[in-house]
Amino acid sequence: MNLEAQQLIDSLEADIQRMRIDEALKASLVARLDALRRMVL
């Protein structure tokens, strides 16, 4: 389960990095994914 969740989080982060959105918003989204990643570990 954790590996599946980790792969989903990584995929979401990759998609966010490719989006043309405000850099502050992008950083915020990635930071929240990092927090989620730590919870899954």
Euclidean distance between CA atoms 41 and 30, whole angstroms: 17
pTM of the full structure: 0.84
Phi, psi dihedrals of residue 19, rounded to the nearest 5°? -70, 145
Q: Which two tokens stand for residue 23?
A: 């850099």
Mean pLDDT of all residues in 7-31: 97
Chain segment 25-37, per-residue pLDDT in tens: 999 999 999 999 9
Sign of the C-alpha dihedral, residues 28, 29, 30, 33?
positive
Mean pLDDT of all residues in 13-17: 97
Mean pLDDT estimate for the chain: 94
State the pLDDT at residue 41.
78
State the pLDDT at residue 1.
61
Mean pLDDT of all residues in 7-11: 96
